[in-house]
Amino acid sequence: MSIKIIQGDITKLDCDAIVNAANSSLLGGGGVDGAIHAAAGRALLEECRALGGCETGDAKITGAYNLPCRYVIHTVGPVWHGGSHGEKELLTSCYRKSLELAKANNCKSVAFPLISSGVYAYPKKEAFQVAVDTIRDFIAEVEMQVYIVVFDKAALAVAEKLFSDLIETS
Ligand code: AR6
């Protein structure tokens, strides 16, 4: 069991759970959130509506509807405000809480986007470091295959620099 970095569209992945970089309303938005809701269909929005939102740094799980995975774990990353407003702790909490929910639901394979690194402006290098450190800590104790899915070229370039050993090409 390990961490792998792959490039692609997270909505296409057939793993136990994919993680959504949501906002605190859980009612959809742009970026990966928009892509997940569009591919899952309206029933996902209906289930999310019943959850009553989600705090920054926390995570909630739903079904996946028309997506190929089994579950969607919605987490709310911090908005980057320069780095001295608890951003790192909140982002760490997003990964940890998402992984705990995955474990509690018997997921053996989980895919994350690079949370907060788009609209929420978390620098990609720092966002990667938090992701990899937190996932590594978690899988030291739990059997799970975890993917970090990079979408844009800038994120792939950062991954190639920092974590070339984790990149898997198809
Ligand atoms: N598959 C994988 N990664 C993707 C995909 C995809 N289909 N689409 C985008 N990304 P963002 P955030 C990457 O902005 O920064 C939403 O409006 C993207 O390139 O989706 O946490 C929510 O509703 C970037 O590297 O999420 C919130 O309001 C990463 O996913 C807000 O954006 C995260 O970018 C959350 O902002």
For ligand 1, whether the C-beta of 151 sits within 6 Å is: yes
> Given this model, what pLDDT does residue 156 score?
93
* Residue 168 CB burial class (10 angstroms; 0-12, 13-18, ≥19): exposed
Mean pLDDT throughout 118-125?
Answer: 97
CA 95 to chain centre: 7
> Given this model, what pLDDT does residue 115 score?
98
Please give the distance, rounded to the nearest whole angstrom, from the Cα atom of residue 55 to the centre of ligand 1. 17
**Across the strands, what pairs with 112?**
148
Look at residue 6 and tell me whether its pLDDT is greater than 70.
yes
For ligand 1, whether the C-beta of 32 sits within 6 Å is: yes
Which is more confident, 168 or 47?
Answer: 47
Question: Is 33 tagged catalytic?
Answer: yes
Atom of ligand 1 at shortest distance to CA of 155?
Answer: 25
Mean pLDDT throughout 31-42?
Answer: 98
Task: From the candidates 33, 133, 137, 152, give the one annotated as an active-site residue.
Answer: 33
pLDDT single digits (tens) 59-110: 999 999 999 999 999 999 999 999 999 999 999 999 999 999 999 999 999 9
pLDDT band at residue 169 using 50, 70 and 90 as cut-offs:
confident
pLDDT single digits (tens) 124-162: 999 999 999 999 999 999 999 999 999 998 999 999 999
Please give the distance, rounded to the nearest whole angstrom, from the Cα atom of residue 70 to the centre of ligand 1. 20
Residue 160's alpha-carbon distances to 22, 101, 137, in angstroms, are 26, 29, 21
For ligand 1, whether the C-beta of 53 sits within 6 Å is: no
Look at residue 170 and tell me whether its pLDDT is greater than 80.
no
* Residue 110 CB burial class (10 angstroms; 0-12, 13-18, ≥19): buried
Cβ atoms 79, 116 nearer than 8 A: yes
For ligand 1, whether the C-beta of 113 sits within 6 Å is: yes
Q: What is the best residue among 13, 32, 72 to mutate for testing ligand 1's pocket, by most ligand atoms within 8 Å of CB?
A: 32
For ligand 1, whether the C-beta of 147 sits within 6 Å is: no
Look at residue 11 and tell me whether its pLDDT is greater than 80.
yes
